[in-house]
């Protein structure tokens, strides 16, 4: 926590910045002395407003309020409330009281995999077998690919290193990484996924939300496999919203859509390059997998959807055999990390190390095979011929 420098022209300036002309500083000092800035609103006044609005740290408050609204009016009410709060949407409600009673108010029944941790205020909760009673505000961290069941109508496929915060049975906040949501249609309830800058409301569907940090601001990619979702940024004054249908996606950077929704059928092209044109059989072989985005839209990268659409390398060995080597995170020398999307005209290079695949001398033929999320057919790279000494 770094406090600002003391206000006023006497404050030290950046060493990189030349001082203002002295007379300007003098005038500022005289003006400040004559008309000092007014005092800020007292803390009690700020807290009174927070209490009045129920604005507690963290996004479900609004959603809980919306759950009480008649379904026919809910969407309009959500939009209106979002507009009313003026840019900083906090859908996150109060943390529930710690409880082990599934019938307790605010209790969220989770079914979790061993690779999932649930944290309350930074401390892990102990599951009872594969189930766990959580509350709004608890954080879910996936150490590996895992499925999380939330109540009786939502399943969430978490990719490794995905993090989310629970907001109730009908809402989560994606903090980092990628997750795919399977939400069974309900006539009066919908499901909300909020990130810091984008909110997604489903209508009984299957969709994925991917969040990653970017120097330009939070990057969010929303893709829909079944049904429809409504997507809107939360920090833009004029709040446009998009309805995405199955087979469509939309990317945001810092809460702003990077373009129009794009078809998920569009896919990056993939090519293979050998780092050593004639590698030795007794050493690891590094191959570069190059993704190129030839389109003007953002594309999801299939490499990071390991559960349903693995990226693998088909290897034809010198003796005529065929191996399918799945590209795992452990094989990535460079370019790893969950949750990636490819910007327009962008390129991503993954350096993949094979330890034992090329153990015999001879000529190998390689193709990378992948299937983008939402696509039914496979894509493949051109063949790479690799003579191994």
Partner 1 sequence: MAAVAAGDRAAFELVHGRYAPPIMAFLHHLCFDRGLAEDATQETFVRAWRAASRFRPGARLAPWLYRIAQRAAWTAGAARARRGGRARGEVALGAAGPEAEAPATAARAADAAAGDHEVAAALREALLRLSEALRATFVLVRMEGLSYEDAAEVLEIPLGTVKSRVAAAESHLRSELRGFA
Task: Give whole-number Cα distances, 187 to 72, 164, 340, in Å.
Answer: 10, 26, 34
Q: How far is the CB of 302 from partner 1 (least distance, A)?
A: 29
126 versus 216: smaller Cβ distance to partner 1: 216
Instruction: Give the nearest distance from C-beta 217 to partner 1 in angstroms.
Output: 8
Q: Which is nearer to partner 1, 13 or 360 (CB)?
A: 13
User: Does 88 interact with partner 1 (rule: CB under 8 A)?
Assistant: yes
- Closer of 17 and 187 to partner 1 (Cβ): 17
Contacting partner 1 (CB under 8 A), which of 43, 322, 330, 377? 43
Q: Which residues in the 328-387 window bind partner 1 by CB under 8 A?
A: none
Q: Is the dihedral of CA 75, 81, 87, 93 positive or negative?
A: negative
| Among residues 24, 307, 324, 359, the one that binds partner 1 under rule CB under 8 A | 24
CB 339 → partner 1: shortest distance, Å?
17
Interface segment toward partner 1; rule CB under 8 A; list 48-56, 224-232, 332-340, 359-367: 48-56
Residue 16 engages partner 1 in binding (rule: CB under 8 A): yes
List 118, 164, 196, 373, residue binding partner 1 (CB under 8 A)? 196
| Cα gap 134→125, rounded to integer Å | 8
- Any long-range contacts for 30-39 (C-beta under 8 Å, 24+ apart)? 32/8, 37/7
Segment contacting partner 1 by CB under 8 A, of 89-97, 104-112, 124-132, 325-333: 89-97
27, 80, 359, 380: which one contacts partner 1 (CB under 8 A)?
27
List 111, 143, 235, 273, residue binding partner 1 (CB under 8 A): 235
* Residue pointed to by tokens 């009313």: 84
User: In the bound complex, what is the minimum distance in angstroms from residue 361's beta carbon to partner 1?
Assistant: 51
CA atoms within 13 A on the CB side of 126: 1
Alpha-carbon gap, residue 214 to 335, rounded angstroms: 15
Number of residues that bind partner 1 (CB under 8 A): 57
**Using the rule CB under 8 A, is 74 a contact of partner 1?**
no
Of the pair 58, 249, the CB lying nearest partner 1 is at 58
Is 165 a binding residue for partner 1 by CB under 8 A? The answer is yes
User: Which CB sits closer to partner 1, 38 or 187?
Assistant: 38
Our finding on whether 286 is near partner 1 (CB under 8 A) is no
Binding to partner 1 in span 121-150, by CB under 8 A: 121
214 part of the interface to partner 1, by CB under 8 A = no
Tell me whether residue 139 or residue 157 sits nearer to partner 1 (CB atom): 139
Footprint of partner 1 (CB under 8 A): 1-9, 11-14, 16-17, 20-21, 23-25, 27-28, 30-35, 37-41, 43, 45-47, 49-50, 53, 55-58, 86-88, 90, 92, 94-95, 121, 165, 196, 217, 235, 237
């Amino acid at each position: 926590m770094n406090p600002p420098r003391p206000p006023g022209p006497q404050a030290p300036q950046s060493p990189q910045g030349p001082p203002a002309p002295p007379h300007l500083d003098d005038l500022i000092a005289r003006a400040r002395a004559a008309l000092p800035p007014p005092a800020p609103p007292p803390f009690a006044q700020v807290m009174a407003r927070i209490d009045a609005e129920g604005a507690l740290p963290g996004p479900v408050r609004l959603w809980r309020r919306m759950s009480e609204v008649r379904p026919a009016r809910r969407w309009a009410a959500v939009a209106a409330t979002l507009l009313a709060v003026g840019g900083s949407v906090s859908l996150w409600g109060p943390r529930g009281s710690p409880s082990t009673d599934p019938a307790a108010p605010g209790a969220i029944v989770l079914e979790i995999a061993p690779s999932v941790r649930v944290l309350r205020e930074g401390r892990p909760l102990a599951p009872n077998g594969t189930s766990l009673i959580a509350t709004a505000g608890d954080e879910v961290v996936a150490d590996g690919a895992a499925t999380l069941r939330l109540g009786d109508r939502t399943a969430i496929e978490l990719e490794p290193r995905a993090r989310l915060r629970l907001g109730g049975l009908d809402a989560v906040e994606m903090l980092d990484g990628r997750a795919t949501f399977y939400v069974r249609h309900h006539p009066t309830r919908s499901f909300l996924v909020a990130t810091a800058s984008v909110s997604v409301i489903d209508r009984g569907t299957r969709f994925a939300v991917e969040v990653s940090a970017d120097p330009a601001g939070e990057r969010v990619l929303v893709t829909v496999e079944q049904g429809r979702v409504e997507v809107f940024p939360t920090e833009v004054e004029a709040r446009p919203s998009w309805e995405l249908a199955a087979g469509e996606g939309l990317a945001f950077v810092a809460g702003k859509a990077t373009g129009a929704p794009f078809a998920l059928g569009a896919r990056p092209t993939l090519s293979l390059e050998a780092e050593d044109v004639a590698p030795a059989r007794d050493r690891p072989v590094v191959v570069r997998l190059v993704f190129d985005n030839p389109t003007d839209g953002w594309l999801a990268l299939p490499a990071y959807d390991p559960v349903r659409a693995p990226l693998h390398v088909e290897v034809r060995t010198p003796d005529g055999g065929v191996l399918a080597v799945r590209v795992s995170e452990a094989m990535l020398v460079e370019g790893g990390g969950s949750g990636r999307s490819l910007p327009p005209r962008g390129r991503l290079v993954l350096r993949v190390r094979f330890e034992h695949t090329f153990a015999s001398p001879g000529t190998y033929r390689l193709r990378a095979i992948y299937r983008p999320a939402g696509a039914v057919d496979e894509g493949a790279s051109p063949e790479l011929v690799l003579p191994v000494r």
